[in-house]
Amino acid sequence: MNAAFTAEELEFQQEVRQFLEAEFPADIKNKVDRHIRLVKDDYVRWQKILYNRGWAAPNWPVEHGGTGWTPVQKYIFSSECARVGAPETVPFGLKMVAPVIFTYGSEEQKQRFLPDILASNVWWCQGYSEPNAGSDLASLKTTAVREGDHYIVNGTKTWNTFGQYADWIFCLVRTDPSAKKQEGISFLLIDMKTPGITLSPIVLIDGQPEVNEVHFQDVRVPVDNRVGEENEGWTYAKVLLTHERTNIAGVPHSRVRMGKLRELAAKTPDGNGGNMLEDPVFAQRVAELEIQIWALEYAELRTLAAVSTGKAPGPESSILKIAGTEAAQHLDELFMQLAAWQSLPYVPEQFEDSFKGRAVGTEASAVTALEYFNNRKQSIYGGSNEIQKNIICKAVLGL
| 241 close to 173: Cβ distance less than 8 angstroms | no
| 130 close to 158: Cβ distance less than 8 angstroms | yes
What's the DSSP call for residue 38?
P
Q: Is 63 one of the annotated active-site residues of the chain? A: no
| 202 close to 159: Cβ distance less than 8 angstroms | yes
Burial class (CB in 10 A: 0-12, 13-18, 19+), 358: exposed
Q: Write out the DSSP string of 85-132.
A: TPPPPPHIIIIIIHHHHHHHS-HHHHHHHHHHHHTT-S-EEEE--BTT
Q: How far is CA 202 from CA 123, 164, 212, in A?
A: 19, 11, 5
Q: Which of 244, 297, 300, 363 is catalytic?
A: 244
> 286: how many CB neighbours lie within 10 A of its CB?
20
Classified as helix, coil or strand, 210 is: coil
Active site residues: 244
